[in-house]
Amino acid sequence: MSKLNIKLYQACIAKDLKLFEIAKIAGIENSRFSKILNGKLTATIEERRKLSKILKVAQKNLFMKE
């Protein structure tokens, strides 16, 4: 599970916001968001919902296994 979440990372970059800004908007601690991006933690259902809404990408497209 230590694989970078490429789809989430690409969606963040495409939004033209810094990663810490997305974390702040979503109400996620920077360290937790970093661990989610790096595949060390799994986002909760609520975190997935918030990130999906902020990034305007369907949850299934952000968090789908490759």
Domain limits of the chain? Answer: 6-63
pLDDT in tens, 14-56: 988 899 999 999 999 999 999 999 889 999 999 999 999 999 9
The CATH number of 6-63, from 1.10.260.40, 3.20.20.60, 1.10.3720.10, 2.60.40.10, is: 1.10.260.40
Q: What is the pLDDT of residue 29?
A: 97
Q: How far is 28 from 31, CA to CA, in rounded Å? A: 8
Q: What is the pLDDT of residue 1?
A: 38
Q: Which of 53, 32, 52 is nearest to 63 (CA)?
A: 52
Q: Say what the alpha-carbon torsion angle 56, 23, 46, 37 is, to the nearest 10 degrees.
A: 90
Q: What is the pLDDT of residue 65?
A: 64
Evaluate if pTM is beyond 0.95: no
Question: Beta-carbon neighbour count of residue 23 at 10 Å?
Answer: 23
Q: How far is 2 from 25, CA to CA, in rounded Å? A: 25
